[in-house]
Amino acid sequence: MELLELTLHNLSSDVPLAHQALDQFSTQNSLPIPDLAKLHVAIEEILTNIISYGYDPGHSGTIRIRFALESSALRVEVEDDARPFNPMNAPEADISLPLDQKPIGGLGVHLIRNNVDSLSYRRAGKRNVLVLIKRLP
């Protein structure tokens, strides 16, 4: 099984490193690009949510991302030491509302759910572990 792991700090300036790692992993493993764009969106939303809402101001933390190629899927595991948050419990966003009537929040989780094939969450000790699965053709 192919595997790539990287550790980020809870800084927005580290987010591009995750995108570079995904691109590198996909190139090395000849993964189809159309599916990758959706995964980039999901990873961007996850990291932005962790960095923006998971930590108290001024608190430094670590986020580990593991990319693994499984039989016919790409598995992405995002593990962080931020406050507990299970996106599986977040309510569905009402995307039928006009933009000026939409409440703030919730759309990121909607984008994550709709850009991967499977999403699961667990709390491991003091760490959040979110697993995304993107099936490959």
Q: Give CA–CA dist 25/22, Å, rounded.
A: 5
**pLDDT of the residue at 104:** 54
Q: Give CA–CA dist 47/57, Å, rounded.
A: 16
What is the total count of domains within the chain? Answer: 1
pLDDT-based confidence at residue 9 (cuts at 50, 70, 90) = very high
pLDDT at position 71 over 90: no
State which H helix or E strand residue 69 sits in: strand 62-70
pLDDT at position 27 over 80: yes
Q: Give CA–CA dist 19/42, Å, rounded.
A: 11
pLDDT at position 50 over 70: yes
The alpha carbon dihedral of 35, 38, 44, 47 has a sign of: negative
Tokens of 39: 């995964």
Domain membership of residue 77 as a residue range: 3-135
Residue 70's CATH number: 3.30.565.10
**SS3 at position 7:** strand
pLDDT at position 91 over 60: no
